Amino acid sequence: MPIHQIESRLCVGVGHQVYSILYKDKYGGLANYLLFHFFYNVASEYHGSCPYYPYTIYPILYTKYSLPATRTPMLPETTTPLLALHYFPCLEYFSCFTRPGEVLLEAHEHFIKQSYRNRCYILGPHQVEKLTVPVVGGTKKILVRDLKVDSSQPWQRQHWRSLQSCYGKSPFFEHYAPRLAPVFQEEWKYLWDLNEKVLTLCLDLLQLPATPAATHAYIQQTGTGLYDLRQAIRPNLPFTARDLYCSVPYTQLFGAKFVANLSVLDVLFCEGPAAASVIRQSAKQK
């Protein structure tokens, strides 16, 4: 099949067409690996027109065509998780906060674009929607604590309207809205400060026992006692590529099929006080 036809079919029929291409191809092993990377790049390029990426495209490609990779193992009880600071993190992220103790947040890394550091995913009536916090100079080598939010864009109004549209009729939206609304009303200068406030608020709502603490310097080698997850939890790899979180279905507002590992906002609005129980059940820990 000509490459332009593959590209076209990939972006026109996100689920069915990609599946059809991948499972009816005539390529060999190395060609499949190269084709996987081509598909991933195309999916990234057409992210705006492929609404379910990375929840439909990437898991299929990863499962079929990626070379074997080291699986991120379960979180040992005797280690301290080391995480990046995310924006309204996914449930996999919060599974690291389900036991008492300290969770370290890397405060001296360089910002990594197309990561959870400035985005989250929620469930809309027709598709999974991405909420992105615009930043200034995100393509440059900038320390995450120095990265500024682009206040020239109305992202706060857009995010709050999206939450109202997607979860306004959910059982617990009115319960949590007064606590969450100020996040979208305050003017934020730095992404770190925004994410720190978001994490503190979410942990308070969930009443999870772990305590977050920022690092004092960049940790080059984790060694014994630290479990480095700074780059492990990322949107371009499905949670099934790691062994930290298992999907525990709960009642969502839209769709006949459960969508796992969305932003914590989804489980809060849908399950309310039971959200913490869902997260605890989903945590894989030795």
Residue 212 within any structural domain of the chain: yes
- What separation, in Å, do the N-terminal and C-terminal C-alpha atoms of the chain show? 47
Number of domains in the chain: 2
Tell how strand 128-132 and strand 135-136 pair up: unpaired
Query: Residue 38 sits in which domain range?
Result: 3-65
Same domain, 42 and 106: no
- Per-residue pLDDT tens over the stretch 7-37: 434 443 444 333 333 333 333 444 444 444 4
Same domain, 53 and 192: no
Residue 193 within any structural domain of the chain: yes
Residue 75 within any structural domain of the chain: no
Same domain, 136 and 250: yes
Partnered with residue 42 across adjacent β-strands are none
Residue 70 within any structural domain of the chain: no
The answer to whether residues 180 and 204 touch, using CB atoms and an 8 Å cutoff, is no
Same domain, 16 and 87: no
Same domain, 12 and 108: no
The single-letter DSSP state of residue 245 is B
- Per-residue pLDDT tens over the stretch 41-85: 444 444 443 444 444 444 444 433 333 345 566 676 668 999 999
Same domain, 221 and 122: yes
Same domain, 169 and 195: yes
Share of the chain above pLDDT 70, in %: 72
Statement: residue 249 has pLDDT above 70: yes
Amino acid at residue number 277? S
Same domain, 119 and 223: yes
Statement: residue 40 has pLDDT above 60: no
> Which of 76-80, 216-220, 225-229, 254-258 is the least confident region?
76-80
Residue 207 within any structural domain of the chain: yes
